[in-house]
Amino acid sequence: MRTGARILVTGGAGFLGSAVCDRLIAEGAQVVCVDNLLTGRRKNIEHLIASSRFTFIEGDVRTDLPEGPFNEIWNLASPASPPQYPADPVGTLLINVNGMHNVLELARRCGARVFQASTSEVYGDPEVHPQTESYKGSVNMIGPRACYDEGKRAAETLCFDYQRTYGVEIRVVRIFNTYGPRMDPKDGRVVSNFVVNALAGKPLELYGGGVQTRSFCYRDDLVEGFFRLMNHPTLTGPINIGNPNEFTIRELADLVLEMTGSTSGLIEKPLPADDPKQRRPDISHARELLGWEPKIQLREGLERTIAHFAGVAAEAKVA
């Protein structure tokens, strides 16, 4: 429990950030949520606004962090899906680098422990499978995804340099593909794309034939992994948090069509530049050091996610 702790969550109105805010409030913390609403949504946190222990600040991690003191800072501020990067690639890079620097400086001043939501994208289009934390990655540093991939890599570097140089406590998680309620239906991630289109009777787009693989972790499992690392007295990470069960994108499409009962067809499109062909986490460290592994498998998680998006679609029709 975190009763009485004062905690800052950057990107706290996002898909994952809002779930972290929920958990922190449930544990008794005083939560300050900062989000510029570029990809986060006020709707994700509107149920928390009435709480006297929750404060929302519409601000940017690059410029608008409130002064402490804080006991913990959870940094989840960043666009997080490939279609969002090209909209503002420079901004994406600077949110990850300058934003991380600001978070660490604030933590240094007030003695806060820092959680960094890193990503499996630090592994790039991997030449090692599955990916272990010791794998250094294969990233195209001048490609269209580099603003995010290299931004997250640089953010990890800053974390460990601040730990070594200034003694800042850090906890770094590498997130593998995650899905669940509160995903933005327009954010371009594959699960939300498939579910939203299937429910609307629109075609599902398969890039590169859909033979590339991903490993899908349900949101609640992921957040539990976050808290196990953040609560650990000494472990810094980086730690892979994800579901090691691997599916092709075509298998995902077929499952979504089956579960929604949709008659949507499939459209073939070229594979985007630098899109990883394989992605699966080795979670040995999470199992051994945190006692964590995912409990909700893809069919059950999709059932919940489909119900969420069906509800969103119904609300939109009423409005």
Report, as residue numbers or ranges, the catalytic residues. Answer: 148
Question: 171 pairs with which residues across the strands?
Answer: 115
CA distance 194 to 243: 19
CB neighbours of residue 306 within 10 Å: 19
CA distance 250 to 212: 8
CA distance 239 to 223: 13
CA distance 92 to 288: 34
Size (the chain), residues: 319
CA distance 114 to 75: 7
Question: 215 pairs with which residues across the strands?
Answer: 246
CA distance 229 to 233: 9
